[in-house]
A and B are shown apart, each in its own frame.
Chain A
Amino acid sequence: MSVATFKKGVHPPYNKLYSSNKEIQQIPQPDEIIIPLQQHIGAPLEPVVKRKDQVKRGQLLADTDSFVAAPVHASLAGEVTAVEKVPSSQGGRVLAVRIKPGEDQEEELAETPGGELEEVSPDEIRQAVRQAGIAGMGGAMFPTHVKLVVPEGKNIDHLIINGAECEPYLTVDHRIMLERSEQIVDGLRYLMKATGAEKGLIGIEDNKPDALKAMKSAAAEFDNIEVRATETKYPQGGEKMLIKALLGRDVPVGGLPLDIGVVVNNVATAAAVTAAVRKGRPLIDRPLTVTGEGVNNPGNFEVPLGTPVGDVIKAAGGFAGEPGKVILGGPMMGQAQASLDVPVVKGTSGILVLPRSQLEKYSPAPCINCARCVDVCPMYLVPTRLEKLAQQEKLDKLEEYQVMNCIECGSCSYICPAQRPLVHYIRVGKAAVTARNKSEQGGS
């Protein structure tokens, strides 16, 4: 059987065995939860609760009239202790609602326009998804309902569910596919109905044969849904790579998958969509992987959003030895954290702890033009050149060399024998180009 794939990419050690056979477990109730109001790409939210308010589990905490936004809800019932700025896992500080959970965990599900697939209209699905506050759970945190609006003149023919999980160490998507296969398939069918897509595709890396099997059997009764194995190669789970692998289509530079008739959603997102539309359940918990050589009992856990990272690590048996890095996400694209107080958010797919003993100090050597970065870049960029252009702040050249098309997968830095922080400088270059273009637009 042929295995779908894209060109280039890298093969990091996958290290998934620490947690891939561990069922998703609940964690003990944390002493405090911190719900950042910005857990999505888009407009900021206005809080609708204040200090000393009693909130129920699932109650709306903040929303906005803007369309491109995902509201947030209380993930545990309790008392609001503060609405204040807290350190964000993305860097900087964000407005957040602090809640002290009580003993009585009463759940309040919203009145949503949802229901079974046959009963709901595409518009009702979008509304239910928005009300539930679903944002891309693969990590991007783009509001899901926005993706489900097909602009005038566009046509969506394929809805892709991303089960590639190419990030090393992470196994949560794998577990969701095993334990909640039907929920994912149902989510896919809701998403297909919302977008009018005729065909559903589920792409899974071939290092998860049991997940492939489970999903195939869950999708067996639907002729318009196909489960396909993709090559185990990083970054197979990148949206553009997955589309290339499954459909052979290129997302245009600066464009979106919907420009080529495709919408992609992560498996966890699809499962959340089912819960939202069928039961009116907002996105208040998410499964994630806690793993790495730096935790005692790696595993997969269902965590209320807003739970401090430190509490989740405790649930996984705490640190094994002295922790060196605590990373939200996987080792290739995840963000290292300075504090264990940052909360789990909608896009947190994993907590990776690397022990101090495992950290290496990198001292970049001069670039020798070996072009390994060019050979692995899945976006066909020239990272070595982009790095130099970013250092020299040559913004026009950076744009000419398509710096904005970089997906920041980190394959270039991973492969560089001179240990140069290529993707780091490329990010700096992208930010500089974005800032310049913004100010030019504003000025003219």
Chain B
Amino acid sequence: MQSQELVVTSSPHLRERTSVAEIMWTVNFSLVPVMLAASYIFGLRALAIIAVGIISCALTEYIFLRARNKEVTLSDGSAVVTGILLALTMPPTIPLWVVAIAAVVAISLGKQVFGGLGNNPFNPALIGRAFVTAAYPVLITTWTFDGQTAATPLNLKMMEGEITPYWNLFIGNIPGSLGETSAFLILLGAALLIYKGYLNWRIPAGMLSTVFLLTWLMGQDPVFHLLAGSLLLGAFYYATDMVTTPVTTRGRWIFGVGVGIFVVIIRLWGGYPEGVMYSILLMNMTVPLINRFTRPRSLGEVK
């Protein structure tokens, strides 16, 4: 018997089949309804924005990986996730070159400078979005609907005190960024991810319940606050980015609640009508600390 050819590795000798690529591509797939809705509501221009986001992210990732002499791992789908998530934060009128700049910043400053996939402290898509928010404040806040310039529901509320009907918010018949329109389709995609175990429900649960409770306590309309703006999309897709969120169960609750508190502070007292992006980025910073202080008590450990 050819015993010298036996393979010797350490246990376990069985592996579950899920891969990083499968997780990433499932996230992409779960966003298809939201992307289709965006193109239905805002026209084909929405698809162009998404395409530019994806291609620019992928290209930047490719260049950086080559420059760093690393294996090109575009097939893991993570750069595509960033591209889609970035595009979904853009208003439908944004010039395509702004999207491209945002994508380059997202992948380079948001991800590759930290060492690439798994090492970035901040959500890369939000880094890209934060950059263009600062660099092109007017372009990034120009909203249209049915070809007309229009105010987003949160703007309407901030400026005019006007509350958009819930039903319009729920089905997405409103002005806004590409991805923040239909609450229903966001929940549909998120449901798939939760079912597959690729999305930890504690973060959105902590975030949404915090926003609901605080806005209600402040005498605001909590349902409006849940449905308007990018809260749902942020809660299910940006605040749950695995790389940049805590690994412990208690940590996920703390993270979600923390994001929720910042959202309410910015929405009610800040200069911006919406605060989801900055809230998530702020909480991203606290993740190492949260992980450290929420280390689970090991079985049989006495404190």
Contacts and interface: CB of A to CB of B under 8 A. Distances in A.
A323 B16 CA distance: 22
B69 interface: no
Interface stretch (B165-173, B176-184, B292-300): B292-300
Nearest to B13: A331
A240 B19 contact: no
A390 to B, nearest CB: 13
Interface string B1-39: 111101111111111101110110000000000000000
A373 to B, nearest CB: 8
B299 A240 contact: yes
A414 B16 contact: yes
Contacts of A381: 296, 298
B73 interface: yes
A251 interface: yes
Interface string B181-223: 0000000000000000110100000000000000000000000
Chain B binding surface SS class: loop
Nearest to A422: B12
A126 B122 CA distance: 61
B247 A252 contact: no
A359 B247 CA distance: 31
B300 A374 contact: no
Given A168-B14, A365-B20, A252 B302 contact: yes
A295 B81 CA distance: 44
A331 B300 contact: no
A310 B13 CA distance: 20
Contact of B14 (A12, A366, A382): A12
Interface in B53-86: 73, 76, 78
Contacts of A252: 300-302
A333 interface: yes
A366 B300 contact: no
A401 interface: yes
A343 interface: no
A394 B77 CA distance: 33
A371 B200 contact: yes
Contacts of A415: 16, 18
Q: Which interface residue of A252, A371, A381, A421 has the most chain B CB atoms within 10 A?
A: A371
Chain A binding surface SS class: loop
A335 interface: yes
Given A250-B300, A338-B3, A338-B6, A414 B247 contact: no
A368 B1 CA distance: 42
Interface string B221-250: 000000000000000000000111111110
Contacts of B73: 365
Contacts of A372: 197
B247 A325 contact: no
B76 A382 contact: no
Contacts of A410: 11-12
Q: Which interface residue of B116, B198, B242 has the most chain A CB atoms within 10 A?
A: B242
Contact of B242 (A12, A331, A371, A421): A371
Interface in B260-303: 291, 295-302
A362 B8 CA distance: 13
Given A250-B300, A366-B117, A366-B118, A336 B12 contact: no
B149 interface: no
Contacts of A367: 118
Contacts of A341: 3
B296 to A, nearest CB: 4
Contact of B13 (A322, A334, A379): A334
Contact of A368 (B14, B20, B246): B20
A380 B301 CA distance: 10
A419 B15 contact: yes
Q: Which interface residue of A10, A252, A418 has the most chain B CB atoms within 10 A?
A: A418
Q: Which interface residue of B9, B10, B197, B200 has the most chain A CB atoms within 10 A?
A: B10
Contact of A382 (B8, B23, B117, B248): B248
A54 interface: no
B7 A324 contact: yes
Nearest to A342: B3
Given A334-B11, A369-B247, A402 B6 contact: no
5 contacts: A253-B299, A331-B13, A332-B14, A379-B299, A419-B15
Given A325-B8, A331-B12, 10 more contacts: A168-B14, A250-B300, A253-B301, A329-B11, A332-B14, A336-B6, A339-B6, A352-B13, A374-B296, A414-B15
